[in-house]
Amino acid sequence: RSHLRNRPLNSSLSACDKGRMTTTSRVKLITTYNQFELAMSDSNSVVAILYTVPGCPHCNRFLPSFNSLSIESGCANVSFYNVNLMSGDGMGIARRNAVSGVPHTAFY
């Protein structure tokens, strides 16, 4: 595993995935309780929320895949959000939703 540490995060993605990385992600950042409540009332049928912490190696590896998934054509009815636990009300939002570790993905 040590040989993987110095590789760029997207180096393990296929050529197809790398091409999608240039498209704008649809993941929206949540930093306040109000933004979280608005996300929960989103009109899409599914809301996907990824809870992360800066510097978390597992979060840093998963976030590019979450961003790529957000732009897939089959995910048009899914709204994607990211809660950074170290930003604004992020820690409180995570506590209210029983997030005990990161990365943590929740679907509503």
Q: Quick one: pLDDT band at residue 42, thresholds 50, 70, 90?
A: confident
Give the number of other CB atoms < 10 A from CB of residue 18. 12
Q: Give me the pLDDT at residue 43, please.
A: 81
Q: How far apart are CA 62 and CA 47, in angstroms?
A: 18
pTM, full prediction: 0.76
